[in-house]
Amino acid sequence: MSAKENKAIFLRFIEELGRGNVGIVDEVCSPNFRFYSPNSPNFPRGLEGARMLVNRGQTSEVQTRIEDIIAEDDKVAVRWTFSGIYRGEPRLGYPQPGERITLGSMSFYRFSNGKIEEDWGLDVVSPNADPWG
């Protein structure tokens, strides 16, 4: 697949997740999916891990804003901001459930045969900041 096609698949993935369609994971993520982040070492692999990652994002009432997106070869790079009310489980470095959260993130996605095979990400949490000034 081309870089342009991978970018379109990624944007459709995010759009469908925004609509609450978590079933898109089975269509867009590879059975060999792997998530790499210093914030989540030893994250489960495969579609189970992809579903867990998506469900983690679905537990928060957030606005998602893609700041930059660049595609080249088999990779799509995204810089984005998430802002809203945190509804997840208590986690080190995160606000308490029900408190405001702003999360800046940079992610690199590697595609194989039109599916997301790897997600390399780094998040920075700022509990009370307004990302848009």
pLDDT digits (tens, 9 = 90+) for 112-132: 999 999 999 988 876 555 544
Q: Report which of 117, 22, 110 is spatially closest to residue 73, judged by C-alpha positions.
A: 110
Q: How far apart are the first and last CA of the chain?
A: 38
- Residue ranges making up the domain that contains 91: 3-126
Considering only residues 92 and 74, tell me which one the structure prediction assigns the higher pLDDT. Answer: 74
> What pLDDT score does 128 carry?
55
C-alpha–C-alpha distance, residues 30 and 11, integer Å: 16
Q: Do the domain assignments include residue 131?
A: no
Q: Give the count of domains, the chain.
A: 1
> What pLDDT score does 42 carry?
86
Q: Which residues pair with 106 in a beta bridge?
A: 79, 122
Please give the model's pTM, rounded to 2 decimal places: 0.83
Q: Do the domain assignments include residue 83?
A: yes
| C-beta separation of 105 from 121 below 8 A | yes
Q: Do the domain assignments include residue 133?
A: no
In terms of Cβ atoms closer than 10 Å to its own Cβ (0-12, 13-18, 19+), residue 78 is buried
> What pLDDT score does 118 carry?
97
**CATH number of residue 88's parent domain:** 3.10.450.50
> What pLDDT score does 133 carry?
46
Q: In the predicted model, what is the mean pLDDT of the chain?
A: 87
Give the tokens for residue 37.
Answer: 């982040």
DSSP 89: -
Q: Do the domain assignments include residue 100?
A: yes
> What pLDDT score does 60 carry?
58
Considering only residues 119 and 85, tell me which one the structure prediction assigns the higher pLDDT. Answer: 119
Q: Do the domain assignments include residue 10?
A: yes
Q: Do the domain assignments include residue 104?
A: yes
pLDDT at 26 over 90: yes
Report, as an integer, the average pLDDT of 80-103.
83
What order of strands is seen across the sheet that includes strand 61-72? 29-36, 115-126, 100-112, 75-85, 61-72
Report, as an integer, the average pLDDT of 66-83.
95
Q: What is the largest CA-CA distance in the chain?
A: 42
Q: Do the domain assignments include residue 59?
A: yes
